[in-house]
Chains A and B, each alone.
Chain A
Amino acid sequence: AQSVTQLDSQVPVFEEAPVELRCNYSSSVSVYLFWYVQYPNQGLQLLLKYLSGSTLVKGINGFEAEFNKSQTSFHLRKPSVHISDTAEYFCAVSVTSGGSNYKLTFGKGTLLTVNP
């Protein structure tokens, strides 16, 4: 089975500051990695995903994430945040093969609050 740990439940930052949201995963098989964002009172939408190839993945709204296989991490970063980035962010994994029915396993989420 796989698991996802988001190391910070809440991250407060000031506007225009850089931010990193940390995600570690555990799995005995290969996984795909995802970051989803949930704005207040909305459903989840994809920020970015890592499937293969370059370990640095760029997503929407200026976010990027780096896959580190040796550290089993997939941390999300943004060099300069805006008030509108205030949301909850979820890291998730899916198993690459083997009858998983494409299920996702989610972390518990990190609430990013951007203050003026």
Chain B
Amino acid sequence: DAGITQSPRHKVTETGTPVTLRCHQTENHRYMYWYRQDPGHGLRLIHYSYGVKDTDKGEVSDGYSVSRSKTEDFLLTLESATSSQTSVYFCAINPGQGPQETQYFGPGTRLLVL
């Protein structure tokens, strides 16, 4: 258990509303990642962080922003949710010893945008 929690676990929202998803870790790992999972697409990286206030874009970052003001929390914000952002969102951490390390995943947040 890598001590990763995500909140909320389920959310239904309407198009055009802002949504923030939270990823919390208890181990103070440096590297954190947000993915979305969609049928037929596998997992795609949205944004990642390599330290407090250090973030960068992944392959599907349009429409998303992130913030990391504390080591333990990595927030993903949909500024104005669209139906195409209906997905399952996973947070992950890398313990930080290198690319050979296993990434550990949270339980996921299921988001439905109506």
CB proximity to B under 8 Å, residues A65-92: 90
Identify which of residues 90-114 in chain A touch chain B, using a CB-to-CB cut-off of 8 Å: 90, 94-97, 100-109
Please tell me if B94 contacts chain A, counting CB pairs below 8 Å. Answer: yes
Task: List residues of chain A with CB within 8 A of the CB of B74.
Answer: none
Partner among B40, B44, B48, B108 whose Cβ is within 8 Å of the Cβ of A101 = B48
Neighbouring B residues of A43 by C-beta, 8 Å: 90, 105-108
**Cβ contacts B31-45/A at 8 Å (1 or 0 each):** 101010000111111
Given the contacts A42-B107, A43-B107, A43-B108, A102 and B101 also touching, CB distance less than 8 Å = yes
**Bound: A108/B48 CA distance, A:** 20
Question: Which of the residues B44, B94, B99, B105 comes within 8 Å of A44, measured between beta carbons?
Answer: B105
0/1 interface trace, chain B 49-84, chain A, CB 8 Å (1 if under): 010000010100000000000000000000000000
A46 at the interface (CB under 8 A from B): yes
A63 at the interface (CB under 8 A from B): no
Contacts of A17 in B (CB 8 A): none
Interface size on A, residues (CB 8 A): 26
Is B15 an interface position by the 8 A CB rule?
Answer: no
Complex CA distance for A45 and B4, rounded to whole angstroms: 13
Bound-complex Cα distance A33 to B106 (A): 21
Contact of B100 among A6, A9, A49, A105 (CB under 8 A): A49
- CB closest residue in chain B, given A96: B99
Least Cβ–Cβ distance between B4 and chain A, in angstroms: 8
- Tell me if B99 and A100 are in contact (CB < 8 A): yes
Closest to A105 in B: B45
Complex alpha-carbon distance, A90 and B35, angstroms: 14
Beyond A101-B31, A103-B33, whether A95 also contacts B43 by CB under 8 A is no
14 A-B residue pairs with CB within 8 Å: A42-B107, A43-B105, A90-B42, A94-B99, A97-B99, A101-B31, A101-B56, A102-B31, A102-B99, A103-B45, A103-B48, A104-B103, A106-B42, A108-B40
